[in-house]
Amino acid sequence: MLQKFTLSEKEKFDKIFKNKKGETEIEKWFYRKTEKYLKFIKWLPWIRMVWVWNSISMNSSSKNSDIDLLIVTTQNSMWFVRILVTLIFQVLWVRKNEKHHAWRFCLSFFCTLDWLDFSKFALEKDPYLYFWILYFKPILDYHNTYNLFIEKNNSWADLWEYKNILENNKNYIKYEKTPLFTREGSGVGFINNFLKKIFLPKTLNSYNKIAKPYWIIINDNMLKFHNWDVRKEVAEKF
């Protein structure tokens, strides 16, 4: 079923989740910080896109917010990229952890090119996911992956209703030229599966301990760990 939300529904969503005054100086600083630290991972040939999402992309962050990143990878490299990016950001001392939250990067969302269609985890009526996608801000975009993402999701969400917002989002792209080293290498699949065998059991154990909430996704094409989801509550209001 095609999901489409009117301008009045968008205004209702914005009233709940967005800063009426628009993008703040702290959010501009968050984007500059993201651009700065993506320099350390932009060379990875398995990364296709990196978004800023959640409160920052919706202009509702505070000075104590973290920076949520969504990283899109090539097929059969997601676990490898996740571990590698986590290590790099850990060494740089900018990864979010239990003790340090503000201004740091939350690495809780990865997906492959095979799962760009988010209808795979959409609710029957999902205004939050709809506008959430609409406000994603791509900072790194190789091979026009952002356009591919919008195209894939237009199959279930009529996002072109807000084409001006989608086009404006592209102004946030800072890295779109693929790195000089673009050969992905045949060995990455082996490494990816090796790392998956090591880390997947622990991941699933933690997932089972918190009663398998519907918003956490763990499979070969998506790792979505963010521990906050209000989609059902928002859907009831719409």
Q: Where are the domains of the chain?
A: 7-237
Q: What is the pLDDT of residue 180?
A: 62
Separation CA 158–CA 3 (nearest Å): 6
Per-residue pLDDT of the chain (238 residues; tens, 9 = 90+): 678 888 888 989 888 887 767 888 999 999 999 999 999 999 999 999 999 998 899 999 988 899 999 999 999 999 999 999 999 999 999 998 878 888 999 999 999 999 999 999 999 999 999 999 999 999 999 999 999 999 999 989 988 889 999 999 999 999 997 766 656 666 788 889 898 999 888 888 887 777 678 789 999 999 998 777 888 888 888 8
Burial of 233 (0-12, 13-18, 19+ CB in 10 A): exposed
Structure tokens at 37: 């630290």
Q: What is the pLDDT of residue 1?
A: 64
Report pTM.
0.91
